[in-house]
Structure 1
Amino acid sequence: MSKLKFIDLFAGAGGLSEGFVRAGFKPVAHVEMNKDACDTLRTRTAFHWLKEEGRISEYYDYLHGITTRKELWSKIPDHLIKSVINTEISEKSLPTIFEHIDEELGSSKVDLVIGGPPCQAYSVAGRVRKDMTDDPRNHLYKHYVEFLKKYQPKMFVFENVPGILSANNGHYLQLIFDAVREAGYELDKKVLNAQDFGVLQDRKRVIIIGWKNNLEIEYPQFYKVEQRFEVAKHLFSDLPKIKSGQGEWGVSPYIQDTNDYLKASGIRNGIEFTTQHISRFNNENDLEIYRIAVDKWVNEGKRLNYAELPPRLIKHNNTKTFTNRFQVVNHKGVSHTVVAHICADGHYYIHPDIIQNRSITVREAARIQSFPDDYFFESNRTAAYKQIGNAVPVLMAEGIAKEIKTLKNVFNVE
């Protein structure tokens, strides 16, 4: 039986897509406006194709720097590279996007549409910064619905931040529900937490799931994974110990054997190295604050209040708000939410090991988002952090995909 096919909209670096691929679905197209994220998607597409062809060593050659990205991409069928569509989804671009997807589909049908529009317009933080009422991103759902109308998938998955529930007093959410129902679908929503899917991160997201209104199904039941692992002990412990400004963009060997969590999550999946374990350089002022924050958190279980620092270390005039701007990753349990702001600075994601005294690396951030260690984020360190912060955790996506796949009378998959 051929794999179930999906289209990924507003795809980002592919966290949602990766989860569905691991659950046995096949991407027809990824649509994403950010070039760096599209380059990451193309590299991951090369990984999956080479793996299926029994040529995975050619992907590892790229990670080792033996071959270039251009050479890597040239090894896979051209239509797969073109299936990553680097464009903004708009009324103007829809016909061209549809044309590309139709060419890739041929006579096949789309089983599923996944993805979530950029969340800034729905986020509480975004609404604090400015009046978002007229932000065009509030209306990207209309373009999402156009894909449902054209391709008539049996189901769809729409992901967004919890702020979408309260944006404009729930008006935007109601508009989405009305538009989807008018297109011939029934739908429901729940706030799901990534840690309940085995991700070592407290990350809540609204997951809207819809289905053709002639299907007699309900919103899937997701069963919580018992969380018994810790960030420091199970997620970070096998990575080389480095300090501020150290690490490798390329290959880094592990310093310990794998463990139950890394195996079960698929983060370590057989190879003896990873990449992008590289940290930011921090000035001495920040490093001293990091030491205070780690000591306070690890030894007292308390968060640092910026306003209570010694005056000589305070460089921001604002000591009334964002007083938690320096925060240590929880070493004993799950991390707090990783967001795109990690690309600006690492102060909110300080490594819990006071000896290393730094913010977390690109690879550590990717692990908190449950990306496998062979996932390579293209462009540069800042772009990689941004892609990771915007992503859907892979394990969460996989859990959702597996449950959807088993729904009776929908896909009829054994």
Structure 2
Amino acid sequence: MSNSPIMQQLSLPLNILNTEPKTTSQFQEILKTLNMTNSPGWPDKFGELIHNWCTKKSYSPIKTLSLFTGGGGLDIAFHDCGFQIIKMLELEPKYIKTLETNSQPGKYLENSQPICINIRDYFPSPELEIDFIIGGPPCQTFSAAGRRASGVPGTNDTRGKLFLEYVRILKKLQPKGFLFENVYGIIGAENGKAWQTIQTAFQEAGYTIYYRILDAADYGVPQHRERLFIVGLKTGNYLFPAPTHGPDSIGKEPFYTALAAVKDINISEKKLEIKGKYGHLLTDIPPGLNYSFYTDKMGHPQPIFSWRSKFSDFLYKADPEMPVRTIKAQGGQYTGPFSWENRRFSIAELKRLQTFPDAYEIVGNRSVCIEQIGNSVPPQLGRILALGILEQVMGVKLPFSMQYLSPTQKLGFRQRKRQLTKRYAEKAEEAIAKFSTQSLEKLQTVSLSINNYPNQRNIEKFLSTDFGWHDLPKSNSVKIYLNYDLHSSCWLIDAGKSQLRDKKNQYSIDIIPSANFPDWVLNTERVKLIASDWDLEVFTGLWKAFEEKLRQITGKADLVQLSGYYQYQPKIKMTMSFSRELETNSIWRVVESIIKGIGVKTQLSTQKLAFLWGVNTEDIFQYMQCLRKIGYEVRNHNTNPQIIPGEYLIPYTFPTLNPKSVQLRKNLEFRI
């Protein structure tokens, strides 16, 4: 007989398969059996009652080893379902503090042993007896952020090979089974090669594997969070539990909404307001939407951002009537989810949205707490998976009936995601329609009138080494003199290192809307940037000056929003002209090519770039370093490991680095 997971699952006894249709809600039956109500924070009570029931049973302890423990989400789940967490391995000392706090007598994970260690240095004792292993290695190498940065490194990155350490420990300890969690991008990494390698490694360790991509919201978590789960078994079979909530659940139990999860939380945390350049924008964003509300694609009358120019969690405001989108472990000042009350969620609220127990103490400052929450498996999802393992693998009869997915049964969360896109587009349309005609006229008048910004001569601005643009001198800043002459026919911006009276122009850059986007937001036909000095800092200063006026007059956030995200056709067209002939290998000739769009927007080898720019191949790295110094974002294998060694990516035809740029803190050259 075939040894495939599907064939093995089809051979399950009927009493275990338990997939016959029912009309009543499985979740409501569980609540009734446990004598509990569907009140705010109900997952805490669910975990408590399940744990009490398991404690009263007389079956032998299921000794469990936790790998890549993080903040302990899976450990909470399996602990509640009767698994004895023996050891918890975690690399980060700041996360270990949380595990140590909650492992003390009388605490949630009492008697568990946290170990701060690199898994590569962990060699379990031959005497250690383990029945089950849980955990998932860091997922950055397979994440959406990696895909957005031009593919994922997968197993080409050292973090992507940590599953091999997992396999090494499996071979050493030979438990009955394991549960492995990661982002679903792992399946598509390296065109599926990484996923095949991972499956083969687990199978060669002696385990039959069963896997599914699940959405946490389908299992009682007030958060949409899609993750890959692998269950590996030495013997026996495994079916994944059927959803307890949502349209795919038995009885169509409604989702556990964000509002229901947090409505009884008393907010004691301070400094939850959102300030800064974009904080005020959150107020008008309808719940469920993000920065895209302020794009022309959504129909906003005065777009600030370009479509898909930001991550989806940028200025994302949660919808109280739905589960929130995925809580991210790390993010910037404007990374949501934000509350529908136009503030940040408190840590207590984020714990509820991730179904961490109120009594479970997460140690650290706000950012460290969010890291631990965002990196964890939501405990309520983990509990349902653990109960399925308890019943099918460990042979424990549960006090209520569990329903399971057949091997061929499909879930609809991907399709529902597409439906949500339509729903939120309609909400954006409704919100914009509520703007009064007077408000729109006022918005357009204030934003587009160049008369509000009179023409100026010999204005002093200061460019700092981190590409900040200031009115007053800063440490290590240089002075740039500027002339502004803004008219409906042309915006003229001149820059130089000294006052600009009667100075000769050395080069100019002409900017016009591209043929496919004739209606740009600038109240002028074209823009002309003029430099009076052969100076790279003057070049950067010109772009900073243009960006500043763009922001002041139109409300556009930055130059990227004017041109559009680099993976789309640019909305502007540019040319560069010189007052005299340049040397062939001059940096200015390279800049001229980039401004024309030559050698940008795609990964190219040094040889290809040298050919396109008409320079020597051995000089490419030097040119790339120079481009970084004048504010261009340049990526290579050292800044983004998913980029093939020897290739480069310059996303935009103009400088985009600023003091808050992630790329600013990366280096093109490998450093130990």
Q: TM-score, normalised by structure 1?
A: 0.72
Length, aligned pairs only: 326
Distance apart, 1:306 and its partner CA = 4.1
Counterpart CA distance in 1 for 2:370 and 2:88 is 20
2:177 maps to: 155
- Name the CA shift for 1:346/1:369 in 2 (closer, same or farther; >3 Å): farther
Q: Deviations over 1:99-141 (max 9, x none)?
A: 4xx67x4xxx211011111001111322433662531011111
Counterpart CA distance in 1 for 2:76 and 2:135 is 12
185, 189, 195: which is aligned to 2:207?
Answer: 185
Distance apart, 1:25 and its partner CA = 0.6
- Name the CA shift for 1:112/1:11 in 2 (closer, same or farther; >3 Å): same
- What residue identity is the alignment partner of 1:339? K
Distance apart, 1:310 and its partner CA = 9.1
Distance apart, 1:188 and its partner CA = 1.7
Are 1:161 and 1:205, in contact at CA under 8 Å, matched by a contact in 2?
yes
Task: Give the secondary-structure state (helix, strand or coil) at the position aligned to 2:164.
Answer: helix
- What residue identity is the alignment partner of 1:237? K
Q: Deviations over 1:226-251 (max 9, x none)?
A: 2344212x11211235xxxxx33xxx
Task: Give the secondary-structure state (helix, strand or coil) at the position aligned to 2:209.
Answer: strand
1:374 maps to: 359
Q: Deviations over 1:187-246 (max 9, x none)?
A: 02101111111001111110011100xx231333434332344212x11211235xxxxx
1:365 to 2:350 alignment = yes
- Name the CA shift for 1:306/1:174 in 2 (closer, same or farther; >3 Å): same
Counterpart CA distance in 2 for 1:348 and 1:199 is 17
Counterpart CA distance in 2 for 1:14 and 1:229 is 22
Distance apart, 1:165 and its partner CA = 0.9
- What residue identity is the alignment partner of 1:288? H
Task: Give the secondary-structure state (helix, strand or coil) at the position aligned to 2:96.
Answer: helix
Are 2:135 and 2:179, in contact at CA under 8 Å, matched by a contact in 1?
yes
1:10-409 equivalences under 5 Å are 10-46=68-104, 49-50=105-106, 80=112, 83-90=113-120, 93-95=121-123, 98-99=124-125, 105=128, 109-129=129-149, 132=153, 134-212=156-234, 215-225=235-245, 226-232=253-259, 234-241=260-267, 247-248=268-269, 278-283=270-275, 285-293=277-285, 296-297=286-287, 304-307=292-295, 321-322=309-310, 324=312, 325-342=314-331, 344-353=332-341, 357-407=342-392
Gaps of 5+ in 2: 1-58, 246-252, 398-672
- Name the CA shift for 1:231/1:279 in 2 (closer, same or farther; >3 Å): farther
Counterpart CA distance in 1 for 2:149 and 2:184 is 17
1:413 to 2:396 alignment = yes
Counterpart CA distance in 2 for 1:372 and 1:285 is 35
Are 1:145 and 1:180, in contact at CA under 8 Å, matched by a contact in 2?
yes
RMSD: 2.7
Are 1:199 and 1:395, in contact at CA under 8 Å, matched by a contact in 2?
yes
In our comparison, the structure showing a higher alpha carbon Rg is: 2
1:252 maps to: none
- What residue identity is the alignment partner of 2:396? V
Are 1:306 and 1:323, in contact at CA under 8 Å, matched by a contact in 2?
no
Task: Give the secondary-structure state (helix, strand or coil) at the position aligned to 2:382.
Answer: helix
Task: Give the secondary-structure state (helix, strand or coil) at the position aligned to 1:406.
Answer: helix
Counterpart CA distance in 1 for 2:93 and 2:205 is 31
- Name the CA shift for 1:346/1:19 in 2 (closer, same or farther; >3 Å): farther
Identity of aligned residues (%): 31
Counterpart CA distance in 2 for 1:3 and 1:23 is 11
Q: TM-score, normalised by structure 2?
A: 0.45
Are 2:64 and 2:83, in contact at CA under 8 Å, matched by a contact in 1?
yes
- Name the CA shift for 1:372/1:221 in 2 (closer, same or farther; >3 Å): closer
Counterpart CA distance in 1 for 2:209 and 2:290 is 42
- What residue identity is the alignment partner of 2:165? H
Q: Deviations over 1:333-392 (max 9, x none)?
A: 1111111124x3354211112xxx311111211111101111111121110011111110
Counterpart CA distance in 1 for 2:62 and 2:242 is 21
Counterpart CA distance in 1 for 2:241 and 2:256 is 24
- Name the CA shift for 1:398/1:323 in 2 (closer, same or farther; >3 Å): closer
Q: Deviations over 1:235-292 (max 9, x none)?
A: 1211235xxxxx33xxxxxxxxxxxxxxxxxxxxxxxxxxxxx554532644421211
- Name the CA shift for 1:33/1:202 in 2 (closer, same or farther; >3 Å): same
- What residue identity is the alignment partner of 2:280? E
Are 2:221 and 2:378, in contact at CA under 8 Å, matched by a contact in 1?
yes
- Name the CA shift for 1:154/1:349 in 2 (closer, same or farther; >3 Å): same
Are 2:287 and 2:320, in contact at CA under 8 Å, matched by a contact in 1?
no
